[in-house]
């Protein structure tokens, strides 16, 4: 098959790779209905994260099971399934605690920007939809694989509850879906921090009540203004830079909650600043598996439409253009059709 490989920063190729096959009895092989480019794919694409060898790209996926290993019992060929970027057994103590991305047997899923994909630990990792979905639901189900699950975790980790004032730092797809998630969890006021008209528009559609365009200290001051000097109850940090973390912590009221769901790049937190901020801090790689049944239900019942974050759809073979469009912020997120 032909699939996506990053050779060096900026060099995305769609080239011949071996077809995936069952390697261990707990594997499944799926045929992808759709895949996409993740904001985190841009770190190595931009050279911020080292690329030491040609790397098969992609970790967001949904599709039809083609084949399962002899030990797989919970999914079967023909089913439409969704999984997350870390395969997990869903039985170890960390999985049982709801932290499947810290599974004791976790395996990173890679190479999903391809027509077919091997998924390890299929029983623990894959969740089947009630039936094969209509085509118009596929983008939203694909979003559940990572970006919606990560936005949902941002709201969950920041303890969003009905009536709260919530701020979201970052207007990428995760930030936008964090807005949607906070709305679903009952937030009364949702302040989206965004400078881009098209993203502001989607944020408002997803439930944002206020838009703040300022960043850094000015952004913090603006949130304080909007909350009578108190700060937000919860701030969802969906970027992963030093500036965005400090902005999130500074905008939160004492006793409030900060979540962070993007892999931090160049972030260090000074102990006394954090101490006197009095915030709760929680985050990490989103345990999407915990939320998948709920997210599938929300999409299946058409209560939410997270697939709207895909504002660019390309044939898989044009994946390189998907990377370019996201890198240049011409697209929020690129969906790829194999």
Residues 18, 32: Cα–Cα separation, whole Å: 16
Kindly state the DSSP code that residue 49 receives in the 8-state scheme.
S
Instruction: Select the residue interacting with its own copies from 45, 99, 310, 323 (CB under 8 A).
Output: 99
- Six-digit token string for 18: 């071996």
Nearest to 82 by CA among 22, 140, 157: 140
Residue written as token pair 């799926």: 30
- CB nearer to its own copies: give 131 or 276: 276
The yes or no reply on residue 229 touching its own copies (CB under 8 A) is yes
Q: Reduced to 3 states, what is the DSSP secondary structure of residue 228?
A: coil
Residues 305, 177: Cα–Cα separation, whole Å: 10
Provide the minimum distance between the beta carbon of 282 and its own copies in the complex, in angstroms, as a whole number: 4
Output phi, psi for 247, to 5 deg. -60, -45
- Six-digit token string for 69: 């290993």
Footprint on residues 7-46 left by its own copies (CB under 8 A)? none
Provide the minimum distance between the beta carbon of 166 and its own copies in the complex, in angstroms, as a whole number: 15
Check: CB of residue 253 under 8 Å from CB of residue 129. Answer: no
Distances in whole angstroms, Cα of residue 123 to Cα of each of 90, 106, 133: 8, 13, 20
Provide the minimum distance between the beta carbon of 101 and its own copies in the complex, in angstroms, as a whole number: 7
Strand 61-68 with 80-83, pairing: antiparallel
Footprint on residues 246-275 left by its own copies (CB under 8 A)? 253-255, 260, 263-272, 274-275
Instruction: Select the residue interacting with its own copies from 284, 313, 318, 337 (CB under 8 A).
Output: 284
- CB nearer to its own copies: give 224 or 337: 224
Tell me the per-residue interface mask from 170 to 209 with its own copies, x by CB under 8 A, - otherwise.
----------------------------------------
Those residues whose C-beta lies under 8 Å from the C-beta of residue 37, and which sit 6 or more positions away, are 58, 113, 319, 322, 323, 326, 333, 334, 336
Residues 142, 317: Cα–Cα separation, whole Å: 18
- CB nearer to its own copies: give 3 or 155: 155
Footprint on residues 230-249 left by its own copies (CB under 8 A)? 230, 240, 242, 245
Provide the minimum distance between the beta carbon of 240 and its own copies in the complex, in angstroms, as a whole number: 8
Provide the minimum distance between the beta carbon of 164 and its own copies in the complex, in angstroms, as a whole number: 12
Count residues contacting its own copies (CB under 8 A)?
40
Provide the minimum distance between the beta carbon of 295 and its own copies in the complex, in angstroms, as a whole number: 19
- CB nearer to its own copies: give 145 or 277: 277
Footprint on residues 77-96 left by its own copies (CB under 8 A)? 93-94
**Per this entry, what is the length of the chain?**
338
- CB nearer to its own copies: give 93 or 130: 93
Instruction: Select the residue interacting with its own copies from 16, 134, 276, 301 (CB under 8 A).
Output: 276
One-character DSSP codes across 114-170:
SSEEEESSHHHH-EE-SSPPPGGGHHHHHHHTTHHHHHHHHHHHTT--TT-EEEEE-
Provide the minimum distance between the beta carbon of 255 and its own copies in the complex, in angstroms, as a whole number: 4
Instruction: Select the residue interacting with its own copies from 19, 97, 136, 213 (CB under 8 A).
Output: 97
The yes or no reply on residue 162 touching its own copies (CB under 8 A) is no
- Contact positions vs its own copies (CB under 8 A): 93-94, 97-99, 101-102, 104, 228-230, 240, 242, 245, 253-255, 260, 263-272, 274-285
């Amino acid at each position: 098959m032909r699939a996506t490989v990053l050779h060096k920063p900026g060099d995305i190729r769609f080239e011949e790779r071996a077809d995936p096959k069952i390697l261990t009895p707990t594997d499944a092989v799926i045929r992808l209905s759709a895949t996409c480019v993740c904001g985190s794919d841009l770190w190595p694409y931009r050279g911020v994260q080292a690329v030491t060898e040609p790397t098969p790209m992609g970790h967001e996926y949904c599709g039809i099971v083609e084949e399962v290993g002899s030990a797989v019992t919970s999914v079967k060929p023909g089913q439409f399934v969704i999984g997350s970027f870390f395969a997990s057994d869903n039985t170890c103590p960390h999985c049982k605690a709801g932290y499947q991305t810290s599974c004791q047997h976790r395996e990173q899923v890679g190479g999903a920007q391809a027509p077919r994909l091997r998924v390890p630990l299929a029983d623990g990792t894959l969740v089947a939809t009630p039936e094969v979905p209509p085509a118009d639901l596929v983008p939203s189900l694909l979003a559940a694989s990572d970006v919606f699950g990560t936005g949902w975790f941002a709201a969950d980790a920041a303890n969003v509850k009905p009536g709260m004032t919530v701020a979201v730092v970052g207007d990428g797809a995760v930030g936008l879906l964090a807005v949607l998630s906070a709305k679903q969890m009952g937030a009364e006021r949702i302040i989206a921090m965004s400078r881009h008209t098209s993203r502001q528009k989607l944020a408002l559609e997803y439930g944002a009540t206020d838009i703040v365009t300022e960043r850094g200290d000015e952004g913090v001051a603006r949130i304080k203004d909007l909350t009578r000097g108190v700060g937000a109850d919860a701030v969802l940090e969906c970027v992963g830079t030093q500036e965005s973390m400090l902005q999130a912590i500074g905008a939160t009221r004492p006793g409030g909650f900060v979540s962070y769901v993007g892999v931090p790049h160049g972030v260090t937190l000074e102990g006394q600043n954090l101490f006197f901020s009095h915030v709760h801090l929680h985050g990490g790689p989103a345990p999407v598996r915990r939320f998948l049944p709920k997210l599938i239900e929300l999409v299946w019942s058409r209560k939410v439409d997270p697939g709207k974050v895909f504002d660019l759809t390309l044939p898989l073979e044009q994946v390189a253009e998907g990377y370019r469009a996201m890198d240049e912020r011409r697209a929020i997120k690129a969906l790829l059709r194999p």
